[in-house]
Amino acid sequence: MAVATEREYGLFINGELVEPASGDVREIMEPATGSLLARAAMAGEADVDSAVAAARAAVDGPWGKTPATERSRLLHGLADAVGANRKELAELESRNVGKAISSVKAEVHGAAENFRFYAGAVASIAGRSNPIGGSLLGYTLKEPVGVAAQIVPWNYPLLMATWKLAPALAAGCAVVLKPDPATPLTALRLAELAGEVGFPPGAINIVPGDGPSTGAYLVRHPDVDKVAFTGSTRTGSEIMRLCSEPIKRLTLELGGKSPNIVFADADLDDAIPSSVWAIYYSAGQSCEARSRVLVERSLYDSFVARFAGLAGGLRVGDPLDPGTQMGSLISVTHRDKVHAFVDMAREEGAEVVTGGEPAGGEGAFYPPTVIAGVESRMVVAQEEIFGPVVTIIPFEDERDVVRIANDVKYGLMATVWTGDPGRGHRLASRIKAGMVGINMPYTAFPGLPFGGYKQSGFGRELGLETLDLYLETKSVLVSTSTKPANPFGL
């Protein structure tokens, strides 16, 4: 089904799309063409109040009493609905984000699989009974935390929404999710589908809006019990502050500057094209983009030449063309920020081997860019650029590469390419990152915890562990004795 252009989207509150009390309706643009895609309502404080009230009523009402088997059935239903509507969702996402449809199709598939994983994972929610001794019996209950506020960025609007929604709903929480104001469309469409498969009103509410106003208001809302945030480390730090009074449960999925390590004994016919993919899919706008390629010195010059040749030959263009390998960036403003980093690298003495100049025209395009002659202390090797820019850094040996890999404030992901399996495992244990790939470039699979060390955040998504972040554990103590306890002997 083709996407209806210039559709107007309301807020999704209490099971339906509604007009915003804020009166704020904005144009949503296609970054690859600069043309109008849709109009979408933005939530203000009164809208957030309505959404949180609907979520509270749901969790205190019918949704809170929905048995695990029924929650599982609904999650399977939503997985089916995402699958059945995959073409529409992929096209909408591709046009809204500017991302190549070939990548987005995989994301939509991942979105459905994620719901399916948590539909099964519901079965793992269970307390324990603890023999305490004597006539005392203890057992634990797992209860939903309550109302979860979830805030997601623009780079994977559908996938990030599903990563957040699925475990929260599996746990029995009700959700108020705030997408980025530039990319609200697929989350709103997903909520419509959730309503169609039977999720009750109030279980899912979607309130796009500006971060510092609407987002911060949602985080501070007294009836929100838990906050889950994906975005930049700077915003994560502000959200952590907002959650400190009153104390709220919090998980943070933040930025990254992930290393991709290539030893001379690696299978280079796999390592080089895979390393190219690991930075340029999503045009580098991925938290786990392997934006620092660390290469054993004996290999450095030939590696840079081969890598730059492949990068420079990537097909960049119309996101909806199935042959496109890299689409546009999210906006012209973001493209200019990316370009400023490349200029900074030039000033610091690094060499731009390919790319490095914005494409002309209406769209927010930036070419795959390779920067060589980089030292780890340079800004371009330390800061998250969040664009199609890679820095290639030489290393001497295992010890040296571990030092460089850990020499950033982030710790999200690392990939190691080597012909020596023992070395792969040694590095996996020494690199401070939440995820390490050995001889394969992929990162996210439902069931495998996804998240960071250091300033990449805390908490995990996609895993069974994630359920616990949406559950409270309650201990119940029972006396089975017929004698009174009377500890004071009164």
Residues 100-139 that bind ligand NAD (CB under 6 A): none
Alpha-helical runs (H) found in 148-265: 157-171, 185-197, 216-220, 233-242
Please identify which of the residues 107, 253, 288, 296 carries the catalytic annotation.
253
Listed ranges 96-104, 197-205, 208-216, 346-354: which one lies at the site for ligand NAD (CB under 6 A): 208-216
**CA-CA distance, 179 to 165, in Å (whole number)?**
12
Cβ closest to ligand NAD, residue 100 vs residue 289 = 289
| Residue 256 binding ligand NAD, by CB under 6 A | yes
**CA-CA distance, 48 to 150, in Å (whole number)?**
12
Cβ at position 183, least distance to ligand NAD in Å: 9
| Residue 253 binding ligand NAD, by CB under 6 A | yes
How buried is 10 (Cβ within 10 angstroms: 0-12 exposed, 13-18 middle, 19+ buried)? middle
| Residue 207 binding ligand NAD, by CB under 6 A | no
Tokens in use for 27? 């144009």
| Residue 93 binding ligand NAD, by CB under 6 A | no
- Whether 396 is catalytic: no
Listed ranges 22-30, 124-132, 251-259, 425-433: which one lies at the site for ligand NAD (CB under 6 A): 251-259
Q: End-to-end alpha-carbon separation of the chain, Å?
A: 76
Concatenating the DSSP letter of every residue in 315-380 gives -B--TTSTT-SB---S-HHHHHHHHHHHHHHHHTT-EEEE--S---SSS-----EEEES--TTSHH
| Residue 153 binding ligand NAD, by CB under 6 A | yes
- Number of Cβ within a 10 Å radius of residue 406: 17
Q: Mark residues 155-174: x for contact with ligand NAD by CB under 6 A, - for none.
A: x----x--------------
Per the CB < 8 A criterion, the answer to whether 187 and 265 are in contact is no
- Whether 27 is catalytic: no
Q: Is 447 left (phi over 0), alpha (psi -120 to 50) or beta?
A: left
**CA-CA distance, 44 to 41, in Å (whole number)?**
10
Cβ closest to ligand NAD, residue 65 vs residue 337 = 337
Cβ at position 450, least distance to ligand NAD in Å: 6
**Which of 91, 113, 180, 296 forms a contact with ligand NAD (CB under 6 A)?**
180
Amino acid found at 356 = G
**CA-CA distance, 326 to 331, in Å (whole number)?**
14
**Which of 110, 184, 200, 215 forms a contact with ligand NAD (CB under 6 A)?**
215
Cβ closest to ligand NAD, residue 391 vs residue 456 = 456
Q: Mark residues 371-410: x for contact with ligand NAD by CB under 6 A, - for none.
A: -------------x-x------------------------
| Residue 254 binding ligand NAD, by CB under 6 A | yes
Long-range contacts of 236-242 (CB under 8 A, 24+ apart): 236/457, 239/151, 242/216
Give the footprint of ligand NAD on this chain (CB under 6 A): 151-155, 160, 178, 180, 211-212, 215-216, 219, 230-232, 235, 238-239, 253-256, 287, 384, 386, 412, 452, 456-457
Catalytic (active-site) positions: 253, 287
